Amino acid sequence: MLAQIRAFFAERDVIEVQTPTLGRTSVTEPQIESLCTSAGAFLQTSPEHYMKRMLAAGSPSIYQLGPVYRAGESGHLHQEEFTMLEWYRLGFDDQALMAEVAALIDGLLGPAPYERMTYESLAGTVLGDPAELDLAYAEAIESFGPVRCFVTDFPVNQAALARLRGDREPRAARFELIIDGVELANGYHELTDAAELAARMARDNQQRLDAGREPMARDERLLAAMAEGLPDCAGVAIGVDRLVMLVLGASSLAEVVPFADR
């Protein structure tokens, strides 16, 4: 499967890169906790920040396939260390990237139709507490049967690093791919405004403080790179272990990860 994934991108002239898995900073997102070493460095939850710095420095479309880390992740669909496929396509928006995600998935799982649903149709509203929205959304996904579904039009408070579209009722240019009730992919038409990113990082840290958790230092190098100019692009991350699980018809990551118990 790894060979198939790499062949998919080679055919499209998307270059494989390898960025650090250990960094000075990590994400500020309140829903994600990073693992920290005794020396104060962070195991990366995603290669996103480093890959965007490469794009801002002039790299072409790129992908990375390798390990990432998230503290406290445990369960049949979660582990603290897992394999992530992440890629960025210059000149793509979220619609074009969804088509490419579907092409990759069809090559690995076999072709099938894809449905589309909005976040609001699943969570019931785009207003209110983000934690309550997350819970309603997660419960809706768990009720999915055997279906491939792109969820789109996320609310502003769920934008993460996606840009916004629309004036009167803006929505995030973000999508998730759900297959048979499993969240598999999370993608954005990427935010390129450094000032807006800094404001979102500040809001993230305020949410952390409100929840009694430690704030995270913002990634100044990413902000500087974006201020210099991140090109118009779309990016997506896929949990490869979950993808293997779906291909093999397994019900948990422990069935497909060679050293699930370390």
Q: What mean pLDDT comes out for the span 6-23?
A: 98
pLDDT of residue 126: 60
- The values of phi and psi at residue 56, to 5°, are -65, -25
- Tell me the per-residue pLDDT of 155-182, one tens digit each, with 9 for 90 and over: 998 999 999 998 888 999 999 999 999 9
Q: What mean pLDDT comes out for the span 6-24?
A: 98
Residue percentage of the chain with pLDDT more than 70: 98
Contacts of 188 (CB under 8 A, 6+ apart): 94, 160, 161, 162, 163, 172, 173, 174, 175, 234, 235, 236
pLDDT at 254 over 90: yes
Rounded distance between C-alpha atoms, residue 159 and residue 220, angstroms? 20
State the DSSP H helix or E strand holding residue 107, giving kind and residue range, or none if neither.
helix 94-109
Which position has the higher pLDDT, 256 or 74?
256
pLDDT of residue 133: 79
Q: Read off the pLDDT band of 108 (50, 70, 90).
A: very high
pLDDT of residue 16: 98
Record the pTM. Answer: 0.95
Provide the 10 A C-beta neighbour count for residue 168: 4
Q: Read off the pLDDT band of 100 (50, 70, 90).
A: very high
- Tell me the per-residue pLDDT of 205-220, one tens digit each, with 9 for 90 and over: 999 999 999 999 999 9
Q: Read off the pLDDT band of 114 (50, 70, 90).
A: very high
Domain boundaries defined on the chain: 2-255
- Tell me the per-residue pLDDT of 56-70, one tens digit each, with 9 for 90 and over: 999 999 999 999 999
Q: Read off the pLDDT band of 127 (50, 70, 90).
A: low
Domain 2-255: top CATH class: alpha beta
Backbone dihedral region for residue 244 (phi beyond 0: left; psi -120 to 50: alpha; all else: beta): alpha
pLDDT of residue 261: 72
Closest to 85 in 3D by CA, of 192, 205, 242: 242
Helix (H, G, I), strand (E, B) or coil at 88: strand
Q: Are 110 and 139 in contact (CB under 8 A)?
A: no
Q: Read off the pLDDT band of 131 (50, 70, 90).
A: confident
